Amino acid sequence: MYLRRSSRPCRPRTAVTLLAAAVLLVSACSSGGPASSADNPVEAALAALPQATPSTLAPYYGQKLSWRTCGVGGFQCATMKVPLDYARPAAGDVRLAVARKKATGKGKPLGSLLVNPGGPGGSAIGYLQQYAAIGYPAEVRARYDMVAVDPRGVAGSEPVECLDGRQMDTYTETDSTPDDRQETGRLVTAYKRFAEGCGARSPQLLRHVSTVEAARDMDVLRAALGDAKLTYVGASYGTFLGSTYAGLFPERVGRLVLDGAMDPSLSARRLNLDQTAGFETAFQSFAKDCVRRADCPLGGKGTTPAQVGRNLSAFFKKVDAHPVPTGDADGRKLDESLATTGVIAAMYDEGAWEQLREALTSAMKERDGAGLLVLSDSYYERGADGRYSNMMFANAAVNCLDLPPAFSGPDQVEEALPEFEKASPVFGNGLAWASLNCAYWPVKPTGAPHRIEAKGAAPIVVVGTTRDPATPYRWAQSLSRQLSSARLLTYQGDGHTAYGRGSRCIDSTIDAYLLHGTPPTRGKRCS
């Protein structure tokens, strides 16, 4: 799915700091009707685990974390052990990186606040250190120890590895909208090489990076921190992680905020189709804004959003045939795949629209693709040295384990193209083919679509943004109906997630919940 790392959730809203969500391809408010049973084979609700901790897990739950000073700014770091396989704890351990910043003010301490920016594959520790520990409201930071753990397979926690930098460059530049069988074959080969690289470099861990296992790790951390219940803010994929925790441990739910919610009851195909529609919704907002501005390279006043889309599609076809120079030190040119990724990256945050207009102007009128390449690189977390973070590797590893693949081969993608292109005339073709990535995964999926009810849990706040490109508002509506104690908080606006994005209404409502345990009133809407 294109959910990639997380999307911003909570970093400053600029495109260059987006948390990648690229492979997770999950969409937004679908313009179509309800999903068919084939698209949405809902399973039974996720069953809660026994309240008593099994004796085989006692050593993990009883461990004491050894904190040390790390970095600057008063952070402490530690390493936590969890079983590689919860069904066979004796089979070996995974070492998880944990970080915290102690509460900074007076007042009664409220324990730990665990944060996760999403992905899957986004570094929670990086998010904590770069944003949450300084960007969350002072009142929240004063009362809570701010805590993060990189999930298994991510960043500092025994990261999944798949390809080196040069191989990833080749992968990201592969034409993702094949025009003939030869190009289709090259795309399939790229997916197979990616999967084979992951299988060769992380053969054992690849079988144990599911969301259920990561949620169980969070409960071990809760115990190691000395908290009776979990207080948590998860964004984007982090909402799936948080809701999974609630389903497994409802009696241990403290104050949970699920911002930019995912719907666990949907199949991978439906998730991808919904997200395709979500990016179209976001693009329509961008298009309407663009044509009102003098520097819009896709049309002027009076140009319809549909024409803006056709103009952008024409540009994509042009760079498909004739890639644009970028001045990149490694000689990369802006092709259709990189250009499309750059545009999609800017859809996560309306604060990036100006940057996108400038990048498109340079590429379309001056044949300089550097600006769109910067946006694409930020999405993939590619550094100036040509190295990539492991975000995209972990993203695919988790997604392909959590759900059966959306498609089994190119023929199924081709059959689905009309539906995806209806959902988004601009992005549908590429996002349909992106949904093929898990078809060649070396490990069979262990998860399936399911409802999460979390009966007996304390009130949980589910947050949905009406024009969210990556996690459609309908997903927040669905999750809030599934969770027995959910309160839906709606943000009427653009961008991915809502907390910390500038809405005083949203921020004050969530702050009141975190500080005082007061959930929002039913049906509350903010703008």
What string of H, E and C letters represents the secondary structure of 198-214? HHHHCCCHHHCCCHHHH
Secondary structure class of 91 (helix, strand, coil): helix
Clarify whether residues 35 and 112 are in a common domain: yes
Clarify whether residues 155 and 304 are in a common domain: no
322 is catalytic: no
Clarify whether residues 246 and 320 are in a common domain: no
Clarify whether residues 354 and 492 are in a common domain: no
CA distances from 235 to 243, 261, 310, 500 (A): 11, 7, 32, 11
Clarify whether residues 248 and 301 are in a common domain: no
Q: What total number of domains does the chain contain? A: 2
CATH number at residue 512: 3.40.50.1820
Q: How far apart are CA 458 and CA 137, in angstroms?
A: 23
CB 145 within 8 A of CB 112: yes
User: In angstroms, how far is CA 74 from the centroid of its own chain?
Assistant: 28
Clarify whether residues 260 and 319 are in a common domain: no
Q: Which amino acid is it at 456? A: G
131 in any annotated domain: yes
117 in any annotated domain: yes
H helical segments located in 322-369: 336-347, 353-365
pLDDT tens digits, one per residue of 215-274: 999 999 999 999 999 999 999 999 999 999 999 999 999 999 999 999 999 999 999 999
Clarify whether residues 121 and 248 are in a common domain: yes
Q: Which helix (H) or strand (E) holds 233?
A: strand 230-235
What is the chain's pLDDT, residue by residue, as a tens digit (527 residues)?
445 433 333 322 222 223 333 333 332 222 333 334 446 555 689 999 999 999 999 999 999 999 999 988 999 999 999 999 999 999 999 999 999 999 988 888 999 999 999 999 999 999 999 999 889 999 999 999 999 999 999 999 999 999 999 999 999 999 999 999 999 999 999 999 999 999 999 999 999 999 999 999 999 999 999 999 999 999 999 999 999 999 999 999 999 999 999 999 999 999 999 999 999 999 999 999 999 999 999 999 999 999 999 999 999 999 999 999 999 999 999 999 999 999 999 999 999 999 999 999 999 999 999 999 999 999 999 999 999 999 999 999 999 999 999 999 999 999 999 999 999 999 999 999 999 999 999 999 999 999 999 999 999 999 999 999 999 999 999 999 999 999 999 999 999 999 998 999 999 999 999 999 999 999 999 99
Task: Indicate which residue of 150, 335, 468, 494 is catalytic.
Answer: 468
Q: How many CB atoms lie within 10 A of CB 56?
A: 13
Clarify whether residues 233 and 299 are in a common domain: no
Q: What are phi and psi of 83, to 5 degrees?
A: -70, 140
Per-residue burial over 416-427, b if 16 or more Cβ lie within 10 Å, else e, is: beeebbebbbbb
Q: How far apart are CA 273 and CA 265, in angstroms?
A: 14
Task: Indicate which residue of 236, 285, 337, 478 is catalytic.
Answer: 236
Of the three residues 347, 363, 380, the one that is the final residue of a domain is 380
Report the predicted TM-score, pTM, of the whole model to 2 decimal places.
Answer: 0.93
Clarify whether residues 218 and 79 are in a common domain: yes
pLDDT tens digits, one per residue of 392-447: 999 999 999 999 999 999 999 999 999 999 999 999 999 999 999 999 999 999 99
468 is catalytic: yes
State the residue range of the domain holding 354.
291-380
516 is catalytic: no
112-116 sheet: strands from edge to edge: 68-69, 76-83, 93-101, 145-149, 112-116, 230-235, 253-259, 460-467, 486-494, 525-526
448 in any annotated domain: no
Q: Which amino acid is it at 419? A: E
65 in any annotated domain: yes
Task: Indicate which residue of 27, 150, 259, 496 is catalytic.
Answer: 496
80 in any annotated domain: yes
